[in-house]
Structure formats: C-alpha cells, structure tokens
C-alpha cells in the first residue's frame, strides 16, 4: 500500500540555519503531497501542499517541490527561527481518500 518515509529525528539546529527534512513516498501514480506541522500544545495544521508533479508548495518561508522522478517532497527553509520548533509530518492523499502520514520529524531550533 501507499506509504510515506521521513528522515528520522530529532533534528536540532541553530537559529538562522538552513533546514532540510527529507520525505519520500511510495504510491502507484501521483497523489497530492502535504506537509503538516504540530506546534507544542496545538493541533496538526497544514503547512503547505502540492497537487501535481513539479508543483512547489510554499508557506511561512518553507518550500517543498513535488519530484516524481525521485518520489520525494523534501521540506526546506533558508533561515529557521526558534518559533519553527515543532513536529513536522509529510503526508499523501488521493482525492477524497484518507491522508497517509509519515512518522514525523521533531525539529528544535536553539537561539
């Protein structure tokens, strides 16, 4: 079945560092791809998405490009802030069907 694999955490960076969190997926065809973020004490919220190959999703300085050749959707940010500390989840979805999540990557940014 469909699955999502994320780079293992935890990831610890200093403020203003460059961030990459790797995500690859296994699926037949081209599902929509998502990054969700869970800040401490809050519910999951959508960070960005891409619905077809070569699309780039972006929000709050984060970007991810849907690469069908490598079945990847890596999350990047050029300069992280302490407020970016959270757990990040990569996910895929087919139309109206369920979201399938990766295991999550905990990110901690030190001042």
Partner 1 sequence: GAGVSQTPSNKVTEKGKYVELRCDPISGHTALYWYRQSLGQGPEFLIYFQGTGAADDSGLPNDRFFAVRPEGSVSTLKIQRTERGDSAVYLCASSMTATGELFFGEGSRLTVL
Contact with partner 1 (CB under 8 A) among 42, 69, 70, 111: 42
The DSSP code for 29 is S
Q: Contact between 45 and partner 1 (CB under 8 A)? A: yes
Cα–Cα distance measured from residue 79 to residue 83, given in angstroms and rounded to the nearest whole number: 12
User: Which stretch, 17-25, 63-71, 75-83, 96-104, contacts partner 1 (CB under 8 A)?
Assistant: 96-104
Task: Identify the burial level of 1 via C-beta atoms within 10 angstroms of its C-beta, where 0-12 means exposed, 13-18 middle and 19 or more buried.
Answer: exposed
User: Which stretch, 19-27, 56-64, 66-74, 94-102, contacts partner 1 (CB under 8 A)?
Assistant: 94-102
Q: Contact between 100 and partner 1 (CB under 8 A)? A: yes
Contact with partner 1 (CB under 8 A) among 41, 69, 70, 111: 41
């Amino acid at each position: 079945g469909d699955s999502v694999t994320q780079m293992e955490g935890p990831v610890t960076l200093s403020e203003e560092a460059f961030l990459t969190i790797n995500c690859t997926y296994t699926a037949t065809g081209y599902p929509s791809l998502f990054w969700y973020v869970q800040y401490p004490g809050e519910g999951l919220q959508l960070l960005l998405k891409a619905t077809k190959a070569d699309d780039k999703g972006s929000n709050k300085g984060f970007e991810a490009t849907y690469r069908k050749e490598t079945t990847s959707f890596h999350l990047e940010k050029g300069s992280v802030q302490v407020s970016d500390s959270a757990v990040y989840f990569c996910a895929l979805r087919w139309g109206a069907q369920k979201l399938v999540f990766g295991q999550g990557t905990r990110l901690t940014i030190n001042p």
